[in-house]
Structure 1
Amino acid sequence: MTKVSLVFALGAVDELEKIVNINKIRNKYAHQINFELTDEYFQEKIYNAFSPTTRQTFTNFLSSFKHDAEKLIRRLKVALFTVWYMLVDKTLIPDEVKQKLSKINGVTRSETLPQIKD
């Protein structure tokens, strides 16, 4: 069983395709010397695999990077963060721990990060 399959089996993600696609990109980048990540590849393999909720969360996070939001590396970083954030927010951290982590410099999570709707 792969790590990706384990995460899916544990119920940590409900959209296996986006995790698999990101893992494929990581493998290609790590093992294929000529692999080049393009805007088209990002759009097709990552963004299009996102559910509407994930796309909205990604867009919300990306909007805070007005000066370089169009750069591919920024979009890739935000996409990875979005997937991580959704994993944490939905399943991996107990609610009481999330509440403690939600305060950033005295600002509540609801004021700084988008809310995830089920």
Structure 2
Amino acid sequence: MVKVEEVKRQLFKKIFHNDLDEFVQEANSENTLYAILRGHLYIEREIVKLLNLKLENPKQILNNNFGFANKIRLAAALGFIETDSMEAYIAFNTVRNKYAHQLNYELNEKDLKKIRRQFCSSLESEYVRGVLTPSTSFLKKESFSNDGELSLIARFRGMTVILWRHLKGILYERVSKEIDDYLKIKEKEIKSMLRREMIERGVIKIDESACIEEEFQKRAELFLKNVEEGLEDIIKRRI
């Protein structure tokens, strides 16, 4: 298989870095309602990207009448996220709806505990490392008190980013696999063509795999160039 590390690096950059700074900045907004509503939209967008990987005609179902909770349940049903993690997103959505529709709603510890209680092990680990630990947290340093503690809203903002990045990681894994599968199919097609070509030239008699592999590696750069457009199309459609 042709090395595709650079392709994967570009994919990782497009998925994680293109809107990371913007998202973290919005999550850190002094306006709590704005931070929650915008964070909710960012998360929902990633869910839709995941659903688009499986749905043939997503527009037939992913409309304004098919809300966040239904989308996350569908993502779980399709195997994109764990059932436990699904409940964390449902709990997050409940808090968002309270903030959006209840005039005097105030965030409380019970809300955060309900969300965190549904974290899978990877979400919990990332929350502790990326939010609660001052030395590794992506939150602003001034978010922490002198004792290294975070306010209620700061922890909720951190949860929002963690939930969003979790979906980003799943998207990266799925698109990476799609790229690998695409390259395997193309490699098989190229090797089949080389076999026929080498038999016609009399280089091999029937099917000498070692000879075909050697010839394929000689043409590795050409192979990658030929599939470059297909790889770009996958990334463009999925990201």
2:114 aligns with 45
Higher-Rg member (1/2):
2
Q: TM-score, normalised by structure 2?
A: 0.36
TM-score (norm: length of structure 1): 0.68
Structure 2 gap segments, 5+ residues each: 1-65, 145-149, 178-239
Q: Post-superposition shift, 1:32? A: 1.2
Q: How many residues align?
A: 94
Q: In the alignment, residue 153 of structure 2 is paired with which amino acid? A: I
Q: CA deviation at 1:89?
A: 0.7
For 1:58, give the aligned amino acid: Y
Higher helix proportion (structure 1 or 2): 2
Q: Secondary structure at the match of 2:107?
A: coil
Q: Kindly report structure 1 stretches of 4+ aligned residues shifted beyond 3 Å.
A: none
Deviation per CA, 1:50-100: give whole Å up to 9, x if none: 12321111111112245424122221111111111111112x23238xxxx
Spell out the pairing of 1:7-46 with structure 2 (5 A cutoff): 7-14=75-82, 15-42=85-112, 44-46=113-115
Query: For residues 12 and 80 of structure 1, what CA distance do their matches in structure 2 show?
Result: 18
Residue correspondence of structure 1 range 67-82 to structure 2 within 5 A: 67-69=142-144, 70-82=150-162
| Separation in 2, partners of 1:84, 1:95 | 18
CA RMSD, Structure 1 to Structure 2 (Å): 2.0
Question: Which ranges of structure 1 fall in alignment gaps of 5 or more residues?
Answer: 97-118
- Are the equivalent residues in 1 in contact too, given 2:143–2:154 (CA < 8 A)? yes
Q: Cα distance, 1:41 vs. partner?
A: 2.5
User: What does the per-residue CA deviation read over 1:9-36, in whole Å, with 9 as the maximum and x for residues that have no partner?
Assistant: 2322212110110011111111111221
